[in-house]
A and B are shown apart, each in its own frame.
Chain A
Amino acid sequence: MIIRVLYNVTMRIDWSRYDPGKFYDELISTPGNPRTASRSLATYLGSLSDQQLNRRQRAAELAIEEMGITFTVYSEGQNIDRSWPFDIIPRIIAGREWHRLQLGLTQRLSALNMFIEDLYNEQKIVKDRVFPQTLLKGSQNFLKQCVGVKPLYGAWAHVCGTDLVRDSDGIMYVLEDNLRVPSGVSYMIENRRITKQVFPELFRRRTILPVDDYPAHLFDMLASLSPRPLDHPEIVVLTPGIYNSAYFEHSFIAQQMGTELVEGSDLFVDSDDCVYMRTIDGKQRVDVIYRRINDDFLDPEAFRPDSRLGVRGLHRAWMAGNVAVANAPGAGVADDKVVYTFVPEIIRYYLDQDPIIPNVPSYRCMDKGSREHVLKNLRSLVVKPANESGGYGMLVGPASTAAERKKFSNLIKRNPRNYIAQPVLSLSTAPTLCNQRVEPRHLDLRPFILQSEQSYVTAGGLTRVALSKGSLVVNSSQGGGSKDTWIIESGTR
């Protein structure tokens, strides 16, 4: 007779052995003690065997493959579609903290929009000597072609992705504002869909704020921009095409909103300065363009003449008020690391309020005193150029070589306006499934904010996590993954 082994030895997550060390952990306050909002999740995860947990991770990976959730990496001259890297353990933020952050994000974007409008019109903030004239003169993103324009509701940056990080002091800081063509929102929505598939039981017991209403809010916001009073304005999503790394998102958003996904060659500007798309019924007027193409490439007539992605005459049509463009051309002027350091002053100047979410303390190399401090302390600071994104062109002091520091020292001296420096942050961590074990990994958060006649902030946002031990790099192109983000209202259902 064969006696079957009914119970194999099972390993379970032992939270008392999970130690985030000196870092702030989003779920576990000290070994063995989950934070209030995370308590029931921690208990639930602790009740699963390692095997069960790993099975769920595999189920999530399979769902991602089948749903075709990909991102594109450009490498060695080829575009590779990779499956979206995802960790099944959600990151939790308590409802009460989140509501304060929401207010802070709305405050910030309101002030930034007033700032952009002011720069392209009266320039009061410069005349009042709050924002230096020299900085405006040296700005690469200030487009003189946009001077004098007053878009509807004073909204220039209609869609903003603001990166938040939590330092070891437990405080959330704004790391940067992405005002040009921020991406990631489709992954936020897909992450939730996957988590619902993998842990359906968790959604029954608690109030987790939904995230999938974002496309509806985006649609309403875009519709409110239409220059023609119509019941059904024609809204399109303008993509650079299949080779863009965010093409999946462009097509996802167009599909979710039920609008056309167009490329530059699908649109043209006719002699009446209106934008039309080419359809099988002939030309069809377009009212609102949600563009996912950078300013430079938007219109070869107004900007880079060699652009083949844009639409000739688009800028002219926008200036004439015949089409709305989101985000407005020129909005990028406020998406600059040096301008970033002024945001607290900008909020005080336009809103007469104190900033709700603080900036990361920053040194402007343009100020003599700060510059000397930076040059002396390169080893312990992070130096960032004004206009790069995705973590390029940076110096991370503690990880740098003497030669790199020498190079940056020269760069700063030559063009101080172009650099800021910040202390190295100790990004917060959260439990992450790595090689079949749960370990702390560093993460950040990108909520998305919409603004036109009204404002809207996503419930949470996209949490990006650095998957290798000790790493602070969360970009998906450089080994980063992502997590579902839960905003949990207190009280259970």
Chain B
Amino acid sequence: MLSRVAERLYWMARYIERAENTARLVSVYSMLLLDLPRGVGIHWRQLVEIYGGNELFYSRYRSDGESNILKFIAADTGNPGSLLATLAMARENVRTTRDQIPSEAWQAINELYLFGRRRLPAPTFRKNLHRILSEIIARCQRTTGVLSGAMSHGPGYQFVRIGRNIERADMTSRIVDVGSTTLIAEGDERKILANRLWMNVLNALSAHQMYRQYVRRRIRRGDVIRYLMEDADFPRSVSHSLLQLQECLGQLPNQKKPEQAIARLRKSIMKQEFEDLAGDSLHKFIDHLQEDLAGIHQIIARTWFVTEVDEKV
């Protein structure tokens, strides 16, 4: 398999997963803003922060009101992390590897992009926020389903899975970060508010029901974080994504280095106690986690996407 083709399939899957999770993230934020009373310390601008987009945002917009932030995250093509830009890049990667994936998948991605281009920049976006975001999430999942059901599960598909899982681990950590950056002041209502906060985090990841069934306790911050970080079976947990990655690597040549890096990261997650981790330290831990994932991407790229033999030119 050509390295270029492997790389494009990997990025296609990353972008689709990123689009889905961006939609989830925006969705949870708007819910939280409805659920939490004013002055609790939650603001749209934290969304930009979680995304690592502060600098770009303030260079493009003067005020950080809801409408600017939604525009920046959903439809601003000058922001490479925006939902619309992400969909466009997913499509571009497929366009150049159309012969490698089933035609229904190309069609699904093409339609997803066209839907985004029509609805995200429209003035009616804010009014129909949830409907549009759930539609995007559903269409992303449809693509994932078509790929799983119609693409040969050879090396090409493994690169799709690698891209999806590395992105998913990263995005789950960002959604958990919503919890760490939302400050809830001391007071009578503290417990109730915290409960609402973490329930929304679970909801954003479609994890509420599974959490109930498998953790079997009321919603507690430490348990939620542990579930989303360490649970081996929940498909959006960081740990599960890493296990998936390892399974994919097993089917590819020269997999040793990436395998070791992933094992190291997983071990550090399993070792971490989340119970007593204060907001600030949790935020730092998540930052490190994201850096490690970026490192794993580097190793994957060096192993399969760039062959180093002719770098002498």
Q: Which residues of A contact B2 (CB under 8 A)?
A: 260, 262, 266, 277-280
Q: Are A270 and B4 in contact (CB under 8 A)?
A: no
Chain A positions near chain B (C-beta within 8 angstroms): 68, 241-242, 251, 254-255, 260-263, 265-266, 268-270, 276-283, 312
Interface residue total, chain B, C-beta cutoff 8 A: 20
* A257–chain B nearest beta-carbon distance, Å: 12
Whole-angstrom CA separation of A260 from B310 in the bound complex? 21
Q: Which residue of B lies closest to A255 (CB)?
A: B99
What are the residues of chain B within 8 A of A251 when measuring CB–CB?
98-99
Contact B99 A261, beta carbon cutoff 8 Å: yes
Instruction: Describe B's contact surface by its main secondary structure.
Output: helix
Distance A482 CA – B153 CA, assembled complex (angstroms): 39
Nearest chain B CB to A426 CB, angstrom units: 42
Taking the complex as formed, is B134 at the interface, i.e. its CB lies under 8 A from any CB of chain A?
no
* Interface residue? B54 (CB, 8 A): no
Contacts of A262 in B (CB 8 A): 2
Query: Given the known A-B contacts A68-B103, A268-B310, A312-B313, are A279 and B98 also in contact in the complex, defined by CB atoms under 8 Å?
Result: no
Contacts of A270 in B (CB 8 A): 309-310
**Which of A265, A266, A269, A279 has the most CB atoms of chain B within a 10 A radius of its CB?**
A279
The CA of A383 and the CA of B25, in the complex, are separated in Å by 65
B95 to chain A, nearest CB (A): 6
B198 at the interface (CB under 8 A from A): no
Q: Of residues 92 to 128 in B, which have CB atoms within 8 Å of A's CB atoms?
A: 95-96, 98-99, 103
Using a CB–CB cutoff of 8 Å, the interface residues on chain B facing chain A are 1-4, 6, 95-96, 98-99, 103, 155, 252-254, 304, 306-307, 309-310, 313
Contact A280 B6 (CB under 8 A): yes
Whether B98 pairs with A280 at a CB distance below 8 angstroms is no
Which residues on the A side are within 8 Å of B313 (C-beta)? 312
9 A-B interface contacts by CB (under 8 A) = A241-B96, A251-B98, A265-B4, A270-B309, A278-B2, A279-B307, A281-B253, A283-B309, A312-B313
Contacting residues, chain B, for A269 (C-beta < 8 A): 310
Contact A263-B4, Cβ < 8 Å, known A242-B96, A276-B309, A281-B253: yes
Structural contact, A254 and B3, CB atoms closer than 8 A: no
Provide the residues of chain B in CB contact with A279, threshold 8 Å.
1-3, 307
**Distance in angstroms between the alpha carbons of A419 and B99 in the assembled complex:** 42
- A280 touching B103 in the complex, CB below 8 Å, given contacts A263-B4, A268-B309, A270-B310: no
Q: Which residue of A241, A283, A312 contacts B307 across the interface (Cβ within 8 Å)?
A: A283
Contact of A280 (CB < 8 Å), options: B95, B96, B99, B304: B304
Known: A68-B103, A283-B309. 6 other contacts (CB 8 A): A270-B310, A278-B2, A278-B306, A280-B1, A282-B253, A283-B307
- Chain A residue nearest in CB terms to B1: A280
Whose C-beta in chain A lies nearest to the C-beta of B95? A242
Question: How far apart are the CA atoms of A266 and B307 in the complex, in Å?
Answer: 10
- Nearest 3 CB-CB pairings of A with B: A278-B3, A278-B307, A268-B310
Complex Cα spacing A104 to B71, Å = 66
Tell me the complex Cα distance, A276–B309, Å.
Answer: 10
Q: Is the CB of B254 within 8 A of A282?
A: yes
Q: Is the CB of B310 within 8 A of A280?
A: no
Nearest-CB residue, chain A, relative to B309: A283
Whether B99 and A266, one on each chain, are in contact in the complex, defined by CB atoms closer than 8 angstroms, is: no
- Min C-beta distance of B159 to chain A, whole Å: 8
CB neighbours (8 Å) of A265 from chain B are: 4
B253 contact set on A, CB distance < 8 A: 280-282
Which residues of A are found within 8 Å of B4, using beta-carbon distances? 263, 265-266, 278
In the docked arrangement, what's the CA distance between A262 and B97, Å? 11
Give the residues in chain B near A276, CB-CB below 8 Å: 309
Docked CA distance A268–B309 (Å): 9
Bound CA span A282–B253, Å:
9
B300 to chain A, nearest CB (A): 10
In whole angstroms, what is the CA distance A255 to B101 when docked? Answer: 12
B155 engages A280 (CB within 8 Å) = yes
| Distance from A271 Cβ to chain B, minimum over Cβ atoms (Å) | 8
Which residues of B have CB within 8 Å of A312? 313
Whether A280 touches B3, Cβ cut-off 8 Å, given contacts A251-B99, A254-B99, A261-B99, is yes
Give Cα distance in the complex from A260 to B155, angstroms: 15
A263 to B2 alpha-carbon distance, docked (Å)? 10
Contacts of B306 in A (CB 8 A): 278
Q: Say which residue of A277, A280, A283 sits within 8 Å of B252 (CB atoms).
A: A280
Contacts of A68 in B (CB 8 A): 103
